[in-house]
Chains A and B, each alone.
Chain A
Amino acid sequence: MNDMTPTREQREAKLEGMGCKRKRVEDIRFTQGKGNYVDDLKLPGMLHGDFVRSPHAHARVKSINSEEALKVPGVLAVITAETLKTVNLAWMPTLAGDVQMVLADGKVLFQNQEVAFVVATDRYAADDGINKVVVEYEPLPVVIDPFKAMDPDAPVLREDPAGKTSGAHGPRKHHNHVFEWTIGDKDLTDAAFKKADVTIKEMLSYHRTHPSPLETCQCVCSFDKIRGELSIWGTFQAPHVIRTVVALIAKIPEHKIHVISPDIGGGFGNKVGAYPGYICAAVASIVTGKPVKWVEDRIENLTATSFARDYHMTTEIAATKEGKVTGLRVHVLADHGAFDACADPSKWPAGFFNIVTGSYDFPTAHVAVDGIYTNKAPGGVAYRCSFRVTEAAYCIERGMDILAQKLGMDPAELRLKNFIKPEQFPYHSALGWEYDSGDYHTAMKKMMESVDYAGLRKEQAAQREAFKRGETREIMGLGVSFFTEIVGAGPSKNCDILGIAMFDSCEIRMHPTGAGIARVGSKSQGQGHETTWAQIIATEIGIPADDIMVEEGNTDTAPYGLGTYGSRSTPVAGAAIAMAARKIKAKAQMIAAYKLEVHEGDLEWDIDGFRVKGLPEKTMSMKDICWAAYNSVPPGMEPGLEAVSYYDPPNMTYPFGAYICVMNIDVDTGVYRIRRFYALDDCGTRINPMIIEGQVHGGLTEAFAIAMGQEIRYDDEGNVVTGSFMDFFMPTAVETPHWETDFTVTPSPHHPIGAKGVGESPNVGGVPAFSNAVNDAFSFLGSTHIQMPHDYWRNWRAAKELGVFAA
């Protein structure tokens, strides 16, 4: 035996397959400033477009005068709704079945709405031109408070659906009503509440916030008049969907549209939908015959492109006096702003909000969601969450804490008492989902032991006594959150976007020397797909991950996919990758059998190749099989080694986790101190533990921001008062707490590699943990619920209202 023969461990390590903390291959370029983003693109003769935006939240547009703007050196065109009407593009469809003005058509409905598009030879000239466009407005009364939107005398916001008593999702009951969506058994639920020993009812607001990726939304459109082809480089989380939308609304044949998403600097849901900037840049390019770039600035991104949340959830839970939940009833007032531009699967106007029964065995539940229009920016998108799942998780996790408080029970104990038991999976929830797998008790107990939960509760009791004696001005809170996510949209039986089923896809092509390329329908915005997708293939076909190039985002080369959002990439595209790799492996096995002169069934897989059963020295490596695929395939077999898979998942996946936040609050200033944050995630099979940890850190940081101060806030006139990073809370490394991460592994039974997705779990589970910590801190002073965000002055206000400063 040659000593140089690698051991099995060495062969396995060389693959850097699933389970390996492989370093991110994309970071080589990102950390050196060599990424290639949309704004890096410079085409010959490229023009720049920028918007005239409305200073008013609601106003009639009396006139738009572009005369002076067109005299500005470098300004070539000013596009208005009237221009767009000539090509039937003044309005565009939203993903939620509504329509949205591309440019103000007769009126404006939110501050910073797009009114005119100025096209110039450079950005400076475009901005100079903007300042010379004269728009005459007639201000109208505004609707900002969602609870007043459906008052009988509320101003009419949208005039286009006047007289229409039904919209894309059924009947409308008011001129500012978008839809009502209900699910569950109302009668059974009402009966459960009648019989209940204990009930709670609380209006839980999840305030409006924004995904705020560091790279804003942007595009370059280039129309080639000779070929009749339109190329669009953009910050698109779902490039194929954009191509189809453009084909449908611009009437350009889909094969003549090239959509390319280059490197993307964060998306978090903000880059799923279509924005007026894309349409205007495309029209401007068609009109001028030159490439046109549109790049949002920070203020525009925060104030005009899709927000998230703004869900106001009246939450009721029924329970026995022993603490067994018997019913859940939720009514949601959903503020969609001026246009319903939610990026949900088409049939789900409230996303997957019906995951709101959470991790608990509710015998019955009923949910009603009323979508309404207000004079705010349109949306809302899923900000690092599967559709409306963060809202649902907040609703149930705050609700359970409030119930625990009413029952005088420990919130962790209440959860343990009501968890769906391991033997109940697959579990059919009262609101219609089939939870694929879970082991909640193990995760919860591991969390409680890891942080010494009992010890923390003792410390809290002592701290409260010290506070009452006047020895400290700090109060202590423990925020428990146990979330169940629903991700991986999704099965064609219940998920589509504009009629396209939400499958995903992968094409793998192996080259003769044993390297290969995988093209995938998903699109990384920082998630590290180039690293992890190669790891799946490495384990599946025994080729080192380093020898697999992953390519995404070019609609001409990538197979059709529905893009990356809603933690769907690993559950759907990840499955497609594994299935394509298995097709490669199946063909490879036939080639190996031919070359080794045995029957296929006599071969077995061994890390990086096949060996003959019982003859371990008779092997053929995958690398050698790749070579053979190009010169000596079995008679009758086509040469080459490539495969395509389109994967329609049989079910969603259901990641879960147990989080706890330990927080102290100084009642005099409202300043909080996050003492500890422990996050246990179960995302099934773990492809790259380092990337998972990074995803969890990032999502927790967003959750921290959202719960503790990040909001899009409007004043009474509809002016956005949080339009920059000075006032919109974007924590830096200094403010961000230390994160402790942990895990359990409960593989998905229906996913080819058992993975469930993780990117969004920490945002979903983190927010209730923070909010529960604040609420738990104040609870002994007599408080039931304090609305988010929990920034310093609001904490002080809560303390003040609870009489802390009375003495």
Chain B
Amino acid sequence: MIPGPFSYHRPASVADAVKLLSTLGDEARPLAGGHSLVPMMKLRLATPEHLVDLHGIAGLKGIRRDGHKIVIGAMTTQHELLASDEIRQSLPILHETALLIADPQVRYRGTIGGNVANGDPGNDMPALMLVLGAFYRLEGPGGGRDIAASDFYQGAYFTALEPGEILTSISIPAGAAGHGYAYEKLKRKVGDYATAAAAVVLTMAGGKVATCAIGLTNLHETPLLATDAAKAVIGTSLDDATLGKAAAAAVAIMAPAADARGPVEYRKHVGGIMVTRALTRAAARAS
């Protein structure tokens, strides 16, 4: 539990950080909240020679409204998300989910940028980003670019980030008026990753589902958008048969690993249950 040697850098601007990362190459890693990277370093599963700490860069923090979008700086902590009225009002599912991430100590330090950029299938925020149609702002040696969250995740710990690139902010369309939402997470204890979790955002019209998006956490090597499951509920009043169909459609795309949380069959089974529970709760919240 003792990390290997490394050099520590604390750049003051995004440009400096990008320059450091591209000059130092594969042996450098950006450091945000450190809750994924530092434990890996202590186990020497990660042995970066250089850590580029992003805490010294002004402007990577904060939550602001830009027209219909909410823009969240990558270094914004989970605690700051929880404290934000803007998030509570415009993207309440982020508030609900942030409360289910680990414990207060972790949330004081852990950042949303680190959570979505690391490509860890166990992290909770990526599935939400898919459901909410978020875009990530990436800054790299060749300049900046925006990428849809749905194009970002390629495999466990594999993302669209190019060498030297840093995720600097997240841009999310504000939730539709009267939308319903729910994040259902089954976990063994506080601080654990999801055994299975489902995120739902929907709107209702005349007692029937008008729009719906369903995301899945830790049920595949990447976060998933359960498109067929969402289609199955549109135009319905979420009767038991429809919920069953939606769950089955979601289960069909799940491919979790067996681990101490349970065998594959169990994790898929409860994944389906998380979907039906999230749908039901989201519908009850919609107006």
Binding site for B on A (CB under 8 A): 50, 123-124, 126-128, 131, 297-299, 668-671, 709, 713, 721-722, 726-727, 729-732, 734-735, 791-793, 796-797
Q: A722-B260, A729-B189 are in contact. List 13 more A-B contacts (CB 8 A).
A: A128-B4, A128-B5, A131-B44, A297-B1, A668-B270, A721-B260, A726-B192, A727-B259, A727-B260, A731-B189, A732-B191, A793-B266, A796-B266
13 A-B residue pairs with CB within 8 Å: A50-B2, A126-B2, A131-B4, A131-B44, A298-B1, A669-B270, A722-B260, A731-B189, A792-B195, A792-B262, A793-B266, A796-B262, A796-B269
Q: CB distance B186 to A792 under 8 Å? A: yes
Q: Closest CB-CB distance, A118 to chain B, in whole Å?
A: 11
Residue from B3, B191, B261 in contact with A793 in the complex, judged by beta carbons closer than 8 Å: B261
Instruction: State whether the Cβ of B103 lies closer than 8 Å to any Cβ in chain A.
Output: yes
Chain A residues near B266 (CB-CB < 8 A): 670, 793, 796-797
* 168-204 of chain B: CB within 8 A of chain A: 186, 188-193, 195
Q: CB distance B189 to A793 under 8 Å? A: no
Closest A-B pairs by Cβ, 8 of them: A793-B262, A127-B2, A297-B1, A727-B260, A793-B266, A734-B190, A732-B190, A735-B189
* 1-22 of chain B: CB within 8 A of chain A: 1-5
Q: CB distance A792 to B188 under 8 Å? A: yes
Residue from B1, B103, B259, B263 in contact with A299 in the complex, judged by beta carbons closer than 8 Å: B1
Q: Closest CB-CB distance, A565 to chain B, in whole Å?
A: 27
Instruction: State whether the Cβ of B216 lies closer than 8 Å to any Cβ in chain A.
Output: no
Known: A131-B44, A713-B260, A732-B190. A796 touches B4 (CB 8 A): no
Q: CB distance B5 to A124 under 8 Å? A: yes
Chain A residues near B260 (CB-CB < 8 A): 713, 721-722, 727
Chain A residues near B4 (CB-CB < 8 A): 127-128, 131
Q: Closest CB-CB distance, B272 to chain A, in whole Å?
A: 10
Docked complex Cα distance between A734 and B190 (Å): 7
Residue from A123, A127, A791, A796 in contact with B188 in the complex, judged by beta carbons closer than 8 Å: A791
Instruction: State whether the Cβ of B273 lies closer than 8 Å to any Cβ in chain A.
Output: yes
Q: CB distance B1 to A669 under 8 Å? A: no
Chain A residues near B103 (CB-CB < 8 A): 732
Instruction: Find the B residue at minimum CB distance from A297.
Output: B1
Known: A124-B5, A128-B5, A732-B103. A669 touches B263 (CB 8 A): no
Docked complex Cα distance between A796 and B260 (Å): 14
Known: A713-B260, A796-B269, A797-B266. A729 touches B188 (CB 8 A): yes
Q: Closest CB-CB distance, B8 to chain A, in whole Å?
A: 14
Max chain A CB contacts within 10 Å: which of B103, B260, B263, B269? B260
Q: For chain B, what secondary structure do more than half of its interface residues adopt (helix, strand, loop), or is it mixed? A: loop
Q: Closest CB-CB distance, B269 to chain A, in whole Å?
A: 7
Q: CB distance A796 to B5 under 8 Å? A: no
Chain B residues near A792 (CB-CB < 8 A): 186, 188, 195, 262
Chain B residues near A730 (CB-CB < 8 A): 189
Docked complex Cα distance between A126 and B4 (Å): 10
Known: A131-B4, A299-B1. A709 touches B190 (CB 8 A): no
Q: Closest CB-CB distance, A571 to chain B, in whole Å?
A: 35
Please report the total number of B residues contacting A with Cβ < 8 Å.
Answer: 24
Q: Closest CB-CB distance, A688 to chain B, in whole Å?
A: 31
Q: CB distance B186 to A671 under 8 Å? A: yes
Instruction: Find the A residue at minimum CB distance from B103.
Output: A732
Chain B residues near A670 (CB-CB < 8 A): 266
* 247-287 of chain B: CB within 8 A of chain A: 259-263, 266, 269-270, 273
Q: Closest CB-CB distance, B270 to chain A, in whole Å?
A: 5
Chain A residues near B259 (CB-CB < 8 A): 727
Docked complex Cα distance between A727 and B258 (Å): 13
Residue from B2, B189, B193, B269 in contact with A123 in the complex, judged by beta carbons closer than 8 Å: B2
Chain A residues near B1 (CB-CB < 8 A): 297-299
Docked complex Cα distance between A299 and B2 (Å): 12
Docked complex Cα distance between A732 and B262 (Å): 21
Chain A residues near B192 (CB-CB < 8 A): 726
Docked complex Cα distance between A128 and B1 (Å): 11
Residue from A128, A732, A796, A797 in contact with B189 in the complex, judged by beta carbons closer than 8 Å: A732
Q: Closest CB-CB distance, B74 to chain A, in whole Å?
A: 25
Chain B residues near A123 (CB-CB < 8 A): 2
Docked complex Cα distance between A793 and B44 (Å): 31
Docked complex Cα distance between A792 and B187 (Å): 9
Q: CB distance B273 to A709 under 8 Å? A: no
Instruction: Find the B residue at minimum CB distance from A73.
Output: B5
Q: Closest CB-CB distance, B112 to chain A, in whole Å?
A: 22
Chain A residues near B186 (CB-CB < 8 A): 669, 671, 792
Known: A727-B260, A792-B188. A669 touches B2 (CB 8 A): no
Docked complex Cα distance between A791 and B263 (Å): 12
Docked complex Cα distance between A729 and B259 (Å): 14
Docked complex Cα distance between A123 and B2 (Å): 7
Docked complex Cα distance between A126 and B192 (Å): 31
Chain A residues near B261 (CB-CB < 8 A): 793
Docked complex Cα distance between A128 and B47 (Å): 12
Chain B residues near A50 (CB-CB < 8 A): 2
Docked complex Cα distance between A171 and B44 (Å): 46
Docked complex Cα distance between A123 and B1 (Å): 10
Max chain A CB contacts within 10 Å: which of B188, B263, B273? B188
Docked complex Cα distance between A721 and B269 (Å): 23
Docked complex Cα distance between A417 and B272 (Å): 47
Instruction: Find the A residue at minimum CB distance from B263.
Output: A793
Known: A131-B44, A796-B266, A797-B266. A735 touches B2 (CB 8 A): no
Q: CB distance A124 to B262 under 8 Å? A: no
Q: Closest CB-CB distance, B127 to chain A, in whole Å?
A: 19
Q: Closest CB-CB distance, B237 to chain A, in whole Å?
A: 21
Chain B residues near A721 (CB-CB < 8 A): 260
Chain B residues near A727 (CB-CB < 8 A): 259-260
Chain B residues near A127 (CB-CB < 8 A): 2, 4, 44
Instruction: Find the B residue at minimum CB distance from A128.
Output: B4
Q: CB distance B2 to A124 under 8 Å? A: yes
Docked complex Cα distance between A732 and B195 (Å): 18
Chain B residues near A709 (CB-CB < 8 A): 188
Instruction: Find the A residue at minimum CB distance from B4.
Output: A128
Q: Closest CB-CB distance, A505 to chain B, in whole Å?
A: 39
Docked complex Cα distance between A448 and B52 (Å): 63
Q: Closest CB-CB distance, A52 to chain B, in whole Å?
A: 13
Chain B residues near A729 (CB-CB < 8 A): 188-189
Q: CB distance B189 to A734 under 8 Å? A: yes
Instruction: Find the B residue at minimum CB distance from A124.
Output: B2
Q: Closest CB-CB distance, A334 to chain B, in whole Å?
A: 25
Q: Closest CB-CB distance, B166 to chain A, in whole Å?
A: 28
Q: CB distance B262 to A669 under 8 Å? A: no
Max chain B CB contacts within 10 Å: which of A669, A730, A735? A669
Instruction: Find the B residue at minimum CB distance from A727.
Output: B260
Chain B residues near A124 (CB-CB < 8 A): 2-3, 5
Residue from A668, A713, A734 in contact with B273 in the complex, judged by beta carbons closer than 8 Å: A668
Docked complex Cα distance between A671 and B262 (Å): 12
Chain A residues near B263 (CB-CB < 8 A): 793
Chain B residues near A734 (CB-CB < 8 A): 189-190
Chain B residues near A298 (CB-CB < 8 A): 1
Docked complex Cα distance between A797 and B263 (Å): 10
